[in-house]
Amino acid sequence: MKRVAIFLLPLLFLAIVYTIAKISAFAITATPISSLEASELRQKALDAGFRPIPTDPKKLLHLINTPNNPLNAAKVQLGKELYFDPTLSKDGTISCASCHNLDAGGDDGLPTAIGYKHHRNPHHLNSPTVLNAALQKFQFWDGRAKSVEEQAAGPIQAPFEMASTPDEVVRKVAASSHYTKLFKKAFGDNAITFDRITKAIGAYERTLLTPARFDKFLEGNLTALNEKERRGLELFINVGCKACHFGRSIGGLLIQKFPMNPYNFSIYPKFGIHGSKYYFKEIAIDPNVTANPYPFKDLGHYYGKNDAQRFKVPILRNITKTAPYFHNGSVKDLKEAIRIMAKYQRNIDLDKDQIEAIEAFLGSLEGEIVDFNLSEFS
Ligand code: HEC
Ligand code: HEC
């Protein structure tokens, strides 16, 4: 027995050394200081699944065009006019641009959207940006639409957005000789249908891409990001934000659980005594109180896809312009949104410097809408 123990001792020692090495290796990857040359970091970003919005107009056009809705100059122009046209709404006051303001990051800057007759979104939902939305695989907070064309049919009819019906919209559009002419140019004949209206709006949305300094960096301009932004990018990759926010739209390609790590704890659920790790003081001693599932206020009681706290991963392009944050718009400060993400999606406590570096990197995703020459579509 003793001999076996002596024989096992060195093995035990090795196991301890191995474990310590593993833990410290993790600590290094979890809290890096910028260690890579800009060129290595660029490669690392490409390997992590980031892709640039290309500067080359031909590549750009190839990227946004789709056989389901081939783009042409007239269709994009028509879609643009429809996007800004409030007559599409029931009382002629609300257009897509009311909630998706292109000069303000593609959203409305409000915690919750306000539409027809000042109705608030019944789930207290925040308006996401339309900028770069065409690059997403999923649209809406629960990802229920697969394209911008499919999406556009929703807000026109939603009673708390534009409150119209397809027939009403078709009738109003067909009454305009200007629109009739554009329809003919865009689709080859005079037929005005609801499907074509959503296709034209979708075509315009496909052109709403915003290349940024980060794209220049990905395309090889290594000085496009400063030191702090590069450190932020490296952290964004190492901390694991890129597991969900990646691709050209830096989001929009997955539906994911939020929060990943349980946020509530139940002290004694049988008696309805719940609490949360964040608001320690809010321990409710009430059998009717259900615990708040989020690390922020549960406004609107919206739980995403299948009510399972699964959400479309949002686009992070122009995120510095689209406060407040999250599906219910309950967080105003981007730093706080970053802290929450690291803590509840990755189980990592970031320090102030790290949060600021990531915020600086996110600032490099601010871009201007591409100035397409419409003849490029013909
Ligand atoms: C009253 C404000 C309001 C109006 C008007 C409105 N939207 Fe929205 N939009 C929202 C809200 C809120 C959501 C999220 C709704 C959800 O997830 O159920 C949204 C979602 C979207 C999305 C999905 C983006 C994403 O990342 O998931 C797109 C694209 C979009 N709207 C385009 C449009 C277009 C095009 C129009 C006009 C036809 C329009 N919206 C009119 C508030 C509005
Ligand atoms: C497991 C997937 C996942 C990971 C990892 C992740 N996120 Fe998120 N992120 C989401 C989801 C899902 C949401 C939407 C949650 C909601 O609105 O309730 C979100 C929302 C956000 C928002 C708010 C976006 C908006 O438009 O309101 C920011 C900012 C953000 N994430 C940044 C980060 C950062 C920084 C990291 C790394 C520290 C990170 N995320 C890691 C899935 C993830």
pLDDT tens digits in sequence order for the chain, 378 residues long: 566 566 677 666 666 655 554 444 344 344 445 568 999 999 999 999 999 999 888 888 899 999 999 999 999 999 999 999 999 999 999 999 999 999 999 999 999 999 999 999 999 999 999 999 999 999 999 999 999 999 999 999 999 999 999 999 999 999 999 999 999 999 999 899 999 999 999 999 999 999 999 999 999 999 999 999 999 999 999 999 999 999 999 999 999 999 998 766 544 444 444 444 444 434 444 444 456 788 888 899 999 999 999 999 999 999 999 999 999 999 999 999 999 999 999 999 999 999 999 999 999 999 999 988 767 776
Q: Which residues line ligand 2 (CB under 6 A)?
A: 239-241, 243-245, 256, 258, 260, 311, 313-314, 319, 322, 325-327, 337-338, 341-342, 345-346, 358
Within a domain: residue 132?
yes
What's the number of domains the chain is made of?
2
Residue 227 pLDDT: 96
Task: For residue 202, give the ligand 1 atom closest to its CA.
Answer: 35
Within a domain: residue 27?
no
Residue 292 pLDDT: 75
Same domain, 175 and 228: no
Closest Cα to atom 10 of ligand 1: 127
Whole-number Å distance between alpha carbons of 196 and 203: 10
Within a domain: residue 22?
no
Same domain, 253 and 111: no
Boundary residue ending a domain (191, 209, 227) = 209
Same domain, 130 and 87: yes
Within a domain: residue 288?
no
Same domain, 172 and 250: no
Residue 14 pLDDT: 62
Same domain, 238 and 172: no
Residue 150 pLDDT: 97
319 contacts 326 by C-beta, under 8 angstroms: no
Same domain, 41 and 71: no
Whole-number Å distance between alpha carbons of 46 and 51: 6
Q: Choosing from 161, 205, 234, 359, which is the catalytic residue?
A: 161
Same domain, 217 and 202: no
Ligand minimally distant from the alpha carbon of residue 246? 2
Q: Which residues line ligand 1 (CB under 6 A)?
A: 94, 96, 98-100, 113, 115, 121, 125, 127-128, 130, 133, 136, 139-141, 148, 151-152, 155-156, 161-162, 201, 312
Q: Which domain holds residue 356?
A: 33-53+211-259+294-363
Burial of 192 (0-12, 13-18, 19+ CB in 10 A): buried
CA contacts within 13 A on the Cβ side of 70: 5
Within a domain: residue 37?
yes
Say whether 356 is catalytic.
no
Order of all β-strands in the sheet with 284-285: 264-268, 273-276, 284-285
CATH for 43? 1.10.760.10
Distance 154 CA to ligand 1 centre (A): 8
Same domain, 204 and 217: no
Same domain, 131 and 250: no
Within a domain: residue 18?
no
357 contacts 349 by C-beta, under 8 angstroms: no
Distance 128 CA to ligand 1 centre (A): 7
Same domain, 164 and 189: yes
Same domain, 144 and 241: no
Boundary residue ending a domain (181, 209, 237) = 209
Residue 21 pLDDT: 45
Same domain, 200 and 216: no
Within a domain: residue 49?
yes
Residue 278 pLDDT: 42
Within a domain: residue 134?
yes
Boundary residue ending a domain (187, 209, 231) = 209
**3-state SS record for 211-268:** CEHHHHHHCCCCCCCCHHHHHHHHHHHHHCHHHCCCECCCCCCCEEECCCCCCEEEEE
